[in-house]
Every structure is written in C-alpha cells, then in structure tokens.
Amino acid sequence: MSGTRIVVLQLRKLIYTAIFVGICVIALIFLIVMLSSDKGGKGKESASVADEGEHQYEAGVYTKEIQIGDATVNLQLSLDEDNVKSVELVNLDESVETMYPLMQPTVEKISKQLAAGRSMEEIVISKESQYTEKIIVESVSKMMEEHRK
C-alpha cells in the first residue's frame, strides 16, 4: 500500500490553470488567424477589387436638385452596373432655360462624353461654358460617388 499516492488539488488552482490554458489556446488561434489572413487577405482584396471592376455602380436612374442662382434644376443620371448611360435635365422650366441657355447643350455634351466611356477626369471642358460645366461635372461626380459599389 505504500505505492499508492493520493494527490490533493485545490479547486482554486485547478480553475486558474484551466483559465490560463483557455487563454493560451484562444491567443494561439487568434495569432494563426491573423497571420493567415495577411497572406490570404491580399488575395481576397484583389478578388474584391476585381468584383468592383466588374460592377462599379448601383444600376438605376438617380435625380439630384442643383441650385443655380435662384433657380433649381433637376439633374438625372442613368447608371448601368459598369458605366454611365446618360445625364439629362428633367422638368426644366422655360424661364430657367431662357436665363441659362448653355445648360441643356452642356449637359448633352457631358452626357455624350460619359456615355462614350470617358472618366470624370477626362471630360473636356470648353471655355465658353466652363462655369456651367464645372457645376454639372461636380454634381455628376457626387452622384456617381454616392452610387458606387
């Protein structure tokens, strides 16, 4: 009977040891996940960038009010998933059209350039209507950013 030993463990030490082992296991898992996500994360980012390259915008027709002087003009932007379909002025009052005769041709010019696949930075702004074009280009840029995926 001298070969048997009785081991007495205090419950407090047993609990502390279990908590310490649990924390070590969690820290080890966390470390492995963080290190593996750095390697795999780059691939995931490039895949998500490729997805964004495939579909840049939320497709739809969006309208924004633009304040020009005392008049309010509604600018309508038609977006496809990949590019801009058209930019139009909707519900344009005759008084606004008379006061600002360059509005309609300017919007049509910008719409043609965007529909041809040009980016906002590549749009050619003419000197005759540069202020009108800047207002419209800024508004269209904001609308495109709001509806970018």
Claim to verify: residue 90 and residue 108 sit in the same structural domain: yes
Q: Which position has the token pair 């495109």?
A: 144
Let me know whether 72 and 86 are in one domain: yes
pTM of the model: 0.59
> pLDDT band for position 54 (50/70/90)?
low
101 lies in the same domain as 68: yes
Compute the distance between CA of residue 109 and CA of residue 21 in angstroms, rounded to an integer. Answer: 69
- Token pair in block for residue 97: 């059209």
**One domain, residues 23 and 70:** no
The confidence score (pLDDT) of residue 38 equals 54
d(CA 76, CA 74): 6
Residues 74, 129, single domain; the answer is yes
Give the chain's domain count: 2
> Are 73 and 13 part of one and the same domain?
no
pLDDT at 52: 47
Is the pLDDT assigned to residue 39 strictly greater than 80? Answer: no
Residues 6+ apart with CB under 8 A from 88: 75, 76, 78, 107, 111
Q: Are residues 7 and 50 in the same domain?
A: yes
Where does a domain end: 17, 36, 54? 54
70 with 138, same domain? Answer: yes
In this structure, are 64 and 50 located in the same domain?
A: no
Q: Is the domain of 17 the same as that of 67? A: no
Whether 37 has a pLDDT exceeding 90, the answer reads no
Q: Is the pLDDT of residue 48 over 70?
A: no
140 in the same domain as 117: yes
Domain ends where: 19, 38, 54? 54
Q: Residue 44 belongs to what domain range? A: 1-54
Q: Which residues, listed in sequence order, are joined to residue 78 by a DSSP beta bridge?
A: 61, 86
Q: Average pLDDT of 117-131?
A: 85
Confidence of residue 18 (pLDDT cuts 50, 70, 90): very high
Question: pLDDT tens digits for 66-117?
Answer: 888 888 889 999 988 888 899 999 888 888 888 888 888 889 999 999 888 8
Q: Per-residue pLDDT for 24 more than 90?
A: yes
- HSE, CB side, 13 Å, CA atoms: give it for residue 74: 8
Q: Residues 106, 64: one domain? A: yes
Give the count of beta carbons closer than 10 Å to the beta carbon of residue 123. Answer: 16
The percentage of the chain sitting over the pLDDT mark of 90, rounded to a whole number, equals 21
Mean of all residue pLDDT scores within the chain? 82
State how far Cα 35 lies from the chain centre: 27
